[in-house]
Amino acid sequence: GATLGVLGGGQLGRMFVHAAQRMGYFTAVLDPDEHSPAGRVSHHHLRADYLDDVALARLGDLAEAITTEFENVPADALARLGERHPVAPGAAAVAIAQDRAEEKAHFTRCGVPCAPNAVIDNEEDLAGVDDALLPGILKTARLGYDGKGQVRVATRDELRAAWEALKRAPCVLEKLLPLAFECSVVVARGRDGAMVHLPVQRNLHRAGILAVTEVHEGCVAPAQAKRVIDATRAIAKGLDYVGVLCVEFFGLEDGSLVVNEMAPRPHNSGHWSIEGADVSQFELQVRTLAGLPLTPPRQHSPAIMLNLLGDLWWRDGQERTPDWAGVLALPGAHLHLYGKADARPGRKMGHLTLTGPDVAAVRTTALEAARRLGIGAF
Ligand code: ATP
Ligand code: MG
Ligand code: MG
């Protein structure tokens, strides 16, 4: 059988490995952590990082085609691998997605509006900030995730202090918008330009971290759903993208929509598709990488996903195992644990997807699961 390679050994890599292996592929994971979630279930695990030329060459020797589960791989490592093998997504698209300023410029080129923003690279940029961007959120241009690397600022003094706290890294200041809801769309695009997408996903974040995703008829109004799907397709096409791409949007109180950011890989908000759709986002990743046909995924069940953060492993300062038997007693509960040993608060340890015959049933079981686990209601 052929071997598919993946840069990064986190949970996204692990679920890619599961999908690839189910379809008869061997897998090779590159990640320095010998206990990485994906490395420990892969046929090959190269224990090195993306900056290691020897490891990259070895991955190239092992794998027929290579993908990434992590957007912060150096684009030139992808470009080098791409000289010998299909690499999806490609270096150019990843380079844009890993930088918020570049990403916003791309959205604008595609005609998709973003939050009002300014790039802050130096003192002059800081001094020249328009007061209309305050209150705002200062975000590092690179490497932020789960709300890390961003600071809410109300005044120019706070802005300066935040920029100092972020070590004067290149940043983007975004106006703080009145959000009515958040949503995201996963698309997959093949080398021939064929594109399919998953239904629009409605997302609830808590403290900057995705907490709950709901996907069902009407979770986003049809006219708005069409607009975010069209925008996502335009963004993928504009990148000449190959692979799975997720784009996040904000729905504002006045009914308008703006794009937030994109991830050049499967996304936490698409995990429900493993049980809720006939083709998951990870199977889409395998198909795009291997050059297999893309068929439109069909959602066969309403779905709600609850993220399982490290906090659930702690009560009154004591580490404990959450009550899995309690949630697995609920019909349509699908438990995913990523095999991470260290349950730090805020760390994504797993997720629970609830599926069922109709939205009301799924909401009831999801709320009960949240109650049994001690996750806040939604
Ligand atoms: P991810 O883990 O999704 O990559 P991230 O660290 O890149 O997260 P963002 O997606 O930029 O962070 O922001 C995290 C959350 O903060 C958003 O989902 C939203 O809830 C809130 N947020 C971000 N930007 C704004 C904004 N301009 N106005 C209002 N809320 C915002
Ligand atoms: Mg992000
Ligand atoms: Mg985000």
DSSP codes joined into one string, 338-371: ---S---TT-EEEEEEEE-SSHHHHHHHHHHHHH
Q: Is 145 in the pocket of ligand 1 (CB under 6 A)?
A: yes
| Residue for token pair 């998709």 | 112
Residue 139 alpha carbon, nearest atom of ligand 1: 11
- Supply the residue whose CA is at minimum distance from atom 26 of ligand 1: 176
Query: What rounded mean pLDDT belongs to the chain?
Result: 96
The CA 208 to ligand 2 mean position distance, Å, reads 10
pLDDT at res. 79 = 93
pLDDT at res. 147 = 83
Mean pLDDT of 319-348: 96
| Residue for token pair 């049980």 | 275
For domain 179-373, give the CATH superfamily: ATP-grasp fold, B domain (3.30.470.20)
Nearest-angstrom CA–CA distance, 5 and 24: 14
3-87, what's its fold? Answer: Rossmann fold (3.40.50)
The CA 74 to ligand 1 mean position distance, Å, reads 23
- pLDDT tens digits, 126-144: 999 999 999 999 999 999 8
**14 annotated ligand binder:** no
- Supply the residue whose CA is at minimum distance from atom 21 of ligand 1: 208
Q: Report the residue among 100, 103, 137, 269 best suited for mutation to probe ligand 1: largest number of ligand atoms under 8 A from its CB.
A: 137
pLDDT at res. 150 = 94
**240 annotated ligand binder:** no
Query: Hey, where are the domains in the chain?
Result: 3-87, 116-175, 179-373
Q: Which residues pair with 115 in a beta bridge?
A: none
Residue 51 has pLDDT above 90, yes or no: no
Q: Is 182 in the pocket of ligand 1 (CB under 6 A)?
A: yes
- With a CB cutoff of 8 Å and minimum separation 6, the contacts of 45 are 9, 28, 29, 31, 34, 36, 39
**255 annotated ligand binder:** no
pLDDT at res. 349 = 98
- pLDDT tens digits, 153-178: 999 999 999 999 999 999 999 999 99
Nearest-angstrom CA–CA distance, 131 and 134: 6
Q: Is 97 in the pocket of ligand 1 (CB under 6 A)?
A: no
pLDDT at res. 46 = 97
pLDDT at res. 144 = 87
Residue 209 alpha carbon, nearest atom of ligand 1: 2
Q: Is 177 in the pocket of ligand 1 (CB under 6 A)?
A: yes
The CA 323 to ligand 2 mean position distance, Å, reads 31
**261 annotated ligand binder:** yes
Q: Do domains 3-87 and 116-175 have the same CATH topology?
A: no
Query: pTM to 2 decimals?
Result: 0.97
CA dihedral 87, 93, 99, 104 (to 10 degrees): -160
- pLDDT tens digits, 267-297: 999 999 999 999 999 999 999 999 999 999 9
For the 116-175 domain, the top CATH level (class) is alpha beta
